Amino acid sequence: MILGKASPDDTNLHPLRYKWAYDLYMQAVRNTWFPHEIALKEDLEDWAKMTEDERHAVKFLMAFFNPAELIVNRSIALGIYPYLKSPECHLYLAKQMWEEANHCVAFEYVLQTFPLDREKVFAIHLEVPSMKAKENYINRYMKRMTEDTLDIETVDGKKDFIRNLVATNLVMEGIWFYSGFMVALSFRQRNQLRNFGSMINWVIRDESLHLKFGMNLLHNILEENSELLTEEFATEIQNIVIEGVNLEVAYNRDLFPNGILGLNADYVNQYVMYVTDRRLEELGLPKHYNVTNPAKWMSTATDVFELVNFFEAQNTSYEVDGHSGATSGASHAPKDGGAPVMEAGINAKKAETPAPTQTAPIGE
């Protein structure tokens, strides 16, 4: 069982039981990058020409993302890692936690480089109601995990674990973050903030694996705990997702009080709904919004469909060789990707564990 109280045997990595988690760890190690490899200063010329509304959007994104990275780590450390027995999952989560710390520092680098008042930016997530509401939502689902009242061996405990995993992984990392990535990359789409765009691409490449890990974990838990597969719980999960989308819709209105060139709150929110339907389907739940993708240009950067084929695609861009530690290539446009769509989900009695094929590291 993947879920449960860890026993001394659970530190034995071999034989591998959840190979997908080990493969994701190896891929994540090859994806390692460092913020200062990016020449963010070169974007200052663009910054000088940007409108107040455009600067507000960047500032608002940083205000949300910077603390959000640490909230994800809190959820992993207190709400996910302690309740998993699998050492291969522990390996992956250790790497993910480093990546979230790395993202936090990367956004800190943005705040240091662009002429932004760091203290004011950091105050936003504590002051703006739409942003506070997003944090409260995550904290609500994390609360039971941190209060030491959760018994993971019970149905109620398992449900709480899944509620928290859905809120932090699927909603925050899989929907809210993609909404922000799209806005951030829209600047590069107009030939602005190109280095900032490269940074976001690298963050997306990490996040697509985080999402893949969370989705595999959810499917494995549901497969091994069939008592959770009830229509009532499926509806509850869908409602948790929809509640998260409603919060994002309100937040995006504050992100774009007036709209900027080619982008406004309605456009971003349609993208949010499109991405949400993809996530619901990956989970085995019906689509809720049935909208088209308004940002087709995202397909070259990080389309959710590209996410689906990550392990089938050769990752030939910037990559650290997991065996030698050598850095190969210097393209700032990594190929982003993900994993095969789950064939079964929360509504199905059988869920298949995907067996991703690893991409070969460059230089081998």
CB of residue 86 to Fe ion, shortest distance in Å: 19
CB of residue 52 to Fe ion, shortest distance in Å: 28
CB of residue 145 to Fe ion, shortest distance in Å: 17
The catalytically annotated residue of 81, 83, 92, 109 is 109
Asked if residue 52 lies in contact with residue 127, where contact means CB atoms within 8 angstroms, the answer is: no
> Is residue 210 a contact residue for Fe ion (CB under 5 A)?
yes
- Alpha-carbon distances of 60 from 40, 47, 233, 240, 255, rounded to whole Å: 18, 15, 34, 24, 6
Give the whole-angstrom CA distance, residue 207 versus residue 211: 6
Pick 35 or 157: Cβ nearer Fe ion: 35
Pick 185 or 362: Cβ nearer Fe ion: 185
Q: Is 358 exposed, middle or buried (0-12, 13-18, 19+ CB in 10 A)?
A: middle
CB of residue 173 to Fe ion, shortest distance in Å: 4
183-187 contacts, C-beta under 8 A, 24 or more apart? 183/57, 183/61, 183/255, 183/263, 183/268, 184/58, 184/61, 185/298, 185/301, 185/302, 186/262, 186/263, 186/295, 187/46, 187/54, 187/58
Site map (CB under 5 A) of Fe ion, residues 249-268, x = contact: --------------------
Pick 69 or 336: Cβ nearer Fe ion: 69
Pick 267 or 310: Cβ nearer Fe ion: 310
CB of residue 209 to Fe ion, shortest distance in Å: 8
Stretch that binds Fe ion, among 33-41, 49-57, 63-71, 138-146 (CB under 5 A): 63-71
Tokens representing 104 are 């936090």
Residue recorded with tokens 């993208």:
271
- Alpha-carbon distances of 200 from 65, 98, 151, rounded to whole Å: 11, 17, 38
Pick 50 or 211: Cβ nearer Fe ion: 211
271 a catalytic residue? no
> Is residue 173 a contact residue for Fe ion (CB under 5 A)?
yes
> Is residue 336 a contact residue for Fe ion (CB under 5 A)?
no
Site map (CB under 5 A) of Fe ion, residues 94-133, x = contact: ------x--x------------------------------
Binding positions for Fe ion, rule: CB under 5 A: 69, 100, 103, 173, 207, 210
Catalytic residues: 109
